[in-house]
Structure 1
Amino acid sequence: MTLLILGSLLTIGLILVLLEILFVPGTTLVGLLGVLVTAAGIYYAFIKLDSQLAWMILGITILVNFTALFYGFKSGVWKKFALKETISNRTFDDRLLGLTLGLEGKAVSDIKPIGKAEFLDKIYEVKSEAGLIPVGKTVIIHKLENNKIIVKS
């Protein structure tokens, strides 16, 4: 029964430390709990077993824990959990194609300071440079920046 309890404590401690590294890095709570459970297992070994066997268990535990960590880092198992791709697409990148500075259009809604205007038979969301522009008024593209259309009347 002593070996079952000892083995359980040491195994649970190792699993908690590995869980800390694999799944919840940075929290240190799970890893700290794993170290405490491992230490409790070693303490239990020193209480229940003779000192020579307890020292051997301490050495084996340290060896197994460091081997598991070293093998885990060396084998690249951590790379399976890392994001390797970036998002390269951007929304509305071609939205401003065909629009040029000075192009005239018509406000199809009140632009206060954001509204809708029609250019080249397409409706775009625009921003007014100077405030309210009423419906039906002619607007001119003043700036095209960061996918935004800045107009003035």
Structure 2
Amino acid sequence: MTLFILTSLILVGVILLMTEIIFVPGTTLIGILGLLFSAAGVYYGFLSYGTETGWIVLAATLIINFGLLIYGFKSGVWTKFALKDAITSRSFDDRLIGLEKGQEGKAVSDIKPIGKAEFGDIIYEVKSDIGFIRVGSTVFITKLEDNKIIVKT
């Protein structure tokens, strides 16, 4: 019965640690539980079988844990869970089409320092480089950069 409890504790610890590493990395709760179960197994080995066998249990537990970790890295199991696609598209890429530096518009909201202005028939979110601009004021585009419209009066 003692051997069954010892192996169960260590096996549950190893399974929880591998689950933390492979399936749910970053949660740490499962990893901590795995470490606690493994430590409880080693402690139980020291209590039940004495120091000499306890050190053997500790060494075996460390070898099993590190062996499975290395096997997990080398076997390519990570490629099954790794994200292979990358998002390359961007939103609002064509937002500044039709606008040019020096273009005149009208503030349709207070711009303090961010607000809305109308250029042509389209309302855009703009940023003031001079501070507060009252609604209804005439604004001019000073910069078009990084998908931002910078205006002044």
TM normalised by structure 1 equals 0.72
Tell me the percent identity. 56
Asked whether the equivalents of residues 126 and 151 of structure 1 are also in contact (C-alpha less than 8 Å), the reply is: yes
Check 1:19–1:33 CA distance in 2 against 1; reply closer, same or farther (3 A cut): farther
Check 1:41–1:17 CA distance in 2 against 1; reply closer, same or farther (3 A cut): farther
Asked whether the equivalents of residues 14 and 34 of structure 2 are also in contact (C-alpha less than 8 Å), the reply is: no
State the AA in 2 paired with 1:5.
Answer: I
- C-alpha displacement at 1:149, in angstroms? 0.9
Tell me the equivalent position of 2:73. Answer: 73
Runs of 4+ in structure 1 over 6 Å off: none
CA distance in 2, matches of 1:134, 1:147: 23
Check 1:66–1:41 CA distance in 2 against 1; reply closer, same or farther (3 A cut): farther
Largest Rg, 1 or 2: 1
TM normalised by structure 2 equals 0.72
Structure 1 residues not aligned, in runs of 5+: none
CA distance in 1, matches of 2:93, 2:84: 24
- C-alpha displacement at 1:100, in angstroms? 0.7
SS of the residue 2:85 aligns to: coil
Tell me the equivalent position of 2:133. Answer: 133
Number of residues paired by the alignment?
A: 147
Check 1:69–1:7 CA distance in 2 against 1; reply closer, same or farther (3 A cut): same
- C-alpha displacement at 1:19, in angstroms? 3.2
- Say what the alpha-carbon RMSD is for the aligned residues: 3.1
